[in-house]
Amino acid sequence: MLDHTGFNVSDYQRSKAFYEAALAPLGVTLLMEPAVGSGGFGRDEMPFFWIHERPPSVQGGLHIAFTAEDRETVDAFHAAGLQAGGTDNGAPGPRPIYHQNYYGAFILDPNGNNIEAVCHKPA
């Protein structure tokens, strides 16, 4: 099981603004900035998702999925991500994978990474 994850971004301020908006519907907020160009997002005072402005940044190819409480939250994540400058990479809807159905939505962040919100609860 993972405790936290992080990756490098090309523009910290732009990425920070994107993630603050896109993750807000999931209850994930910026909890700390321990150094210039470094931020930890999470819940309940525990940062588990980090971004750092350092070359080289990850440019596409990364996939991170955040758990959503319900389908409406997945929808809100997708809308907030688009409004924050993300690119649609899969509208909210059912996703059949590994013999399970789940509800998810995909947004490409400012660096082209695939960020997803997922709800495993039935409709």
Can you give the pLDDT at residue 100?
A: 74
Round the CA-based radius of gyration of the chain to a whole number and report it: 14
The answer to whether the CB of 68 falls within 8 A of the CB of 79 is: no
**The amino acid at 18:** F
User: Domain map of the chain by residue range?
Assistant: 5-56+63-119
Cα–Cα distance for residue pair 25/76, rounded to 1 Å:
6
Can you give the pLDDT at residue 1?
A: 76
What's the rounded mean pLDDT across residues 49-72? 91
Tens-digit pLDDT profile for residues 13-45: 999 999 999 999 999 999 999 999 999 999 999
CATH code for residues 5-56+63-119: 3.10.180.10
94: its two tokens: 């059912």
DSSP 32-90: EEEETTEEEEEETTEEEEEEEE-SSPP-S--EEEEE-SSHHHHHHHHHHHHHTT-EEEE
